[in-house]
Amino acid sequence: MREEAKSQVRAVINREADRLIALSHRLHAHPELGFEEVRAAGWLGEALAAHGFAVQAGVCGLPTAFTATAGSGPTVIGICAEYDALPGIGHACGHNVIAAAAVAAGIGLAAVAADLGITVRVIGTPAEENGGGKVLMIERGAFDGLTAAMMVHPAPIERLDPPVLARAQLHVEYEGRPAHASACPEDGVNAADALTVAQVAIGLLRQHVPGDQRIHGIVTEGGQVPNIVPAHTSADYYVRARTLAELDVLHARVRACFEAGAIATGATLSLGSASPAYSEFRHDASMLAHYRRNAAELGRSFPEPTAADDRMAASTDMANVSLVVPSIQPLVSIDSGSVGQHQAEFAEFAVRPAADRALLDGGTAMAWTAIDLAARTG
């Protein structure tokens, strides 16, 4: 029964391959930022509805989130789709591949859901890059009742359990007082100086944090013209650590650096965040074992990670899902060589033949893994 179901899934995905690839390329050609993915969410919903899924748009109070459900069995498999792009560089994280692979896995599983006694739920999750769509959807019940959740992510390499860091965001603003920078600088309170003091403090702090922690950011406003003392400055920073517990400690130390800028200059500090915190990832070992066997049957291989590979640690809100539902997010190679995610060139690789193969293989391997889970829990 299991092998027959896998053959049926593969046949469905192969039959739909051209349409799945076209969907990936269409998403790639029309990149949309987080919480603005109106076309992407619509196209994915239409593709799933055409295969019998009951699609609910705008779930969890998020206009570009959706769920699509097929089957009615007690084993409920969640396949996560991401489809937001990056500012300026489009799909340089390959979310077009992720979304199309999720549709592939979904339509493959829908064809066998009744025979296996499973429910397939494709979950459209906006704003992974900057906004924490999955965290909001967890809080609002979208992941309740799942037996397991999974997705694949394109990368330069194939890897089952990529390193993932917990992450917090900081939006920083200083308010000072403007003055003529030459005629009466003593009347001003320099908000740019406050940010400079904070950045120097963070630079010194980096010597005293573990090597797997990260602090990085950008200045989004630094003043207007040289002859006016800057009255307002702002910055966006990311802080990363191995776990949420370690992140809390580092986050407090970084906040103190920004507070130091305010104390030193007399500027007023405001701290906020555009996103909930992302957690560490609990990779489910049993699911990964199934996925590895299935991906290997499709010709994918998993070289032993190198030290350089282990340093390629990013963050994802899929990690928060892994704390509430057994989850996996393997990396699937699109043969980009030394070009990694969030480099402009990676977007070019995300629509090449290797990426097209990756979405079909990733979708098939996820569907086959779901079949293995159904056999185990049935």
Q: In CATH, what number is assigned to the domain containing residue 213? A: 3.30.70.360
The reply to whether 26 and 86 lie within a common domain is yes
Where residue 311 falls among pLDDT bands split at 50, 70, 90?
confident
Average pLDDT for the chain: 97
Q: Can you tell me the distance from the alpha carbon of 121 to that of 77, in angstroms, rounded to the nearest whole number?
A: 6
Query: What does the pLDDT average to over 142-149?
Result: 98
Burial of 290 (0-12, 13-18, 19+ CB in 10 A): buried
Cβ–Cβ under 8 Å, residues 280 and 327? no
pLDDT at 308 (0 to 100): 85
pLDDT at 374 (0 to 100): 93
For the stretch 303-310, contacts whose Cβ atoms lie closer than 8 Å and that sit 24 or more positions apart, written own/partner, are 303/157, 303/158, 305/159, 309/157, 309/159, 310/163
The reply to whether 265 and 290 lie within a common domain is no
Residue 377, pLDDT > 70, answer no
The reply to whether 132 and 182 lie within a common domain is no
Which residues lie below 8 Å from residue 315, measured CB to CB, with a gap of 6+? Answer: 164, 165, 166, 167, 238, 240, 278
Q: What is the pLDDT of residues 54-97, one digit of tens each?
A: 999 999 999 999 999 999 999 999 999 999 999 999 999 999 99
Q: Can you tell me the distance from the alpha carbon of 44 to that of 126, in angstroms, rounded to the nearest whole number?
A: 12
Where residue 5 falls among pLDDT bands split at 50, 70, 90?
very high
Token pair in block for residue 367: 């569907």
Only one residue has tokens 């064809």, namely 111
Q: Can you tell me the distance from the alpha carbon of 287 to that of 273, in angstroms, rounded to the nearest whole number?
A: 34
* 228, 247, 272 - which closes a domain: 272
pTM confidence score:
0.96
Number of domains into which the chain is organized: 2
Nearest residue to 31 (alpha-carbon basis) of 86, 100, 106, 98: 86
Domain that includes residue 207, residue range: 166-272
The reply to whether 149 and 176 lie within a common domain is no
The reply to whether 94 and 12 lie within a common domain is yes
Q: Can you tell me the distance from the alpha carbon of 344 to that of 90, in angstroms, rounded to the nearest whole number?
A: 8
The reply to whether 111 and 58 lie within a common domain is yes
Which residues lie below 8 Å from residue 306, measured CB to CB, with a gap of 6+? Answer: none
Radius of gyration of the chain (CA): 23
* 272, 295, 311 - which closes a domain: 272
Distance of CA 233 to the CA centre of its chain: 28
Q: What is the pLDDT of residues 211-262, one digit of tens each?
A: 999 999 999 999 999 999 999 999 999 999 999 999 999 999 999 999 999 9
Residue 104, pLDDT > 70, answer yes
Residues composing the chain: 378
pLDDT at 270 (0 to 100): 98
